Each structure stands twice: as structure tokens, then as C-alpha cells.
Amino acid sequence: MQNPQNPEDTQPPESEALNNNQDTGSSEGVDEATQVSQEDAAQQTPESVPDLEELLRTAEQKAAEHYDAWVRAKAETENIRKRAQSDVANAHKFAVENFSTELLTVMDSLDAALAVENASVEDFKNGMELTQKQLTTVFNKFNIEMINPEGEKFDPHQHQAMSTVESELQPNTVVQVMQKGYKLHDRIIRPALVMVAKAKDA
């Protein structure tokens, strides 16, 4: 009694050849597709990768522009600094120009008074009073204020005590102004020389 044959064993040789041909064809197809993909990638690489030389030229151009801008800014800053120094120097040099111009009128009045011949004492006094008024006007214009603290409380920031004397006034009160003081705005340019009251001895 014979054993039944396995269906796979009974497959005709032509089928095996066909299968072999199909497998070979698939492998060849895969190889051809891979080769085409590599060729496409090789052709696309120069287009997709940025041109390094172009990037370098662009970077150098921008760096040159930034350097030029920095040089111009530095030169402008130096010019501004020099102008500021010149302005400060001129301000110090000509700070009293306007004040000096105003004082010229006072000098003119003095010259005119001295030019009068055979002037009386009264004339000289009137001329001096007029000149003093002119000078006071100039002082007020430039915020120069007189310090005349007679009868006021002694202030060491504005007054300089020359001596103390017994007085009917309250102690530490200015009894007499020996020389008037002056201040420019809030700055003391000369303190007043004064005599200050002290308590009477018991």
C-alpha cells in the first residue's frame, strides 16, 4: 500500500521556476529603486545644502557694516565730548561776562562824578547815592543779596562774630554789623562781620 503524496511535493517544476523568477524580479526591483533614490539624493544635495561661500560673504559684509557704524558712532561721541569740554571751558571763562557788562554802567557813573570840577560835598554825596543804587540794581539782577543782620539772632552759617559785648538785647543777638555780608543765591560769598550780645555779668 502506497503513502499519499504531500501536495507540496506534487507541485510542478514550472511553479517553482515561476516563484524563483518572481523573487529575483522583486530583488532586482528593490535594487533599482534604491539606486534611483540615491541618484536623486545626489542630484538634490547641492541644491538643498546652503552655499557656505555665500553665507561667508554675507557675514563678512554685515560685519564690515557693523564696524563702520561703530567707527562713526565712536567719532561722533568723541566730537560731542570735545564740544562739551569746550562749552564748559567757555562757561568758566566767560561766566561773569554779563555781570561785567552791567558793572560798566556803575564805572561810567563814577567816572562822570569824578570829572565834575568844583563839585560840592552834596554833589558828591548825591552821585555816590546814585551809583550805589545802580550797583544794588546789578546785584539784584544777578541774585546777589546783602546780609545785614543787625538786631537778628546770630547765625554762624551767615555771620562771623568779631567779639561779644554786654547788651540789653537777648544773648546771642547781633548788636552791630561791622561789615555787611553777601550771598549769591543760597551760597555765602562773604559772611557779615558782627558783634554779638552776651549776658550781663551777675
Pseudo-torsion of CA 44, 48, 54, 56, nearest 10°?
A: -130
Which strands sit side by side in the sheet containing 181-184, from one edge to the other? Answer: 144-147, 181-184, 187-190
pLDDT score, position 117:
85
**DSSP element (H, E) containing 113:** helix 97-115
The region that residue 185 occupies, defined by phi over 0 for left and psi between -120 and 50 for alpha, beta otherwise, is left
Q: Would you state the pLDDT for residue 172?
A: 94
Instruction: Select from 158, 156, 165 the least CA-distant residue to 196.
Output: 165
Domains of the chain: 144-202 (2.30.22.10)
Best-predicted range by mean pLDDT among 17-31, 33-47, 147-161?
147-161
161 neighbors 154 (Cβ within 8 angstroms): yes
Residue 38 confidence (pLDDT): 54
Tens digits of residue pLDDT in 32-53: 555 555 555 555 445 545 688 8
**How do residues 163-182 score in pLDDT, each as one tens digit?**
999 988 999 999 999 999 99
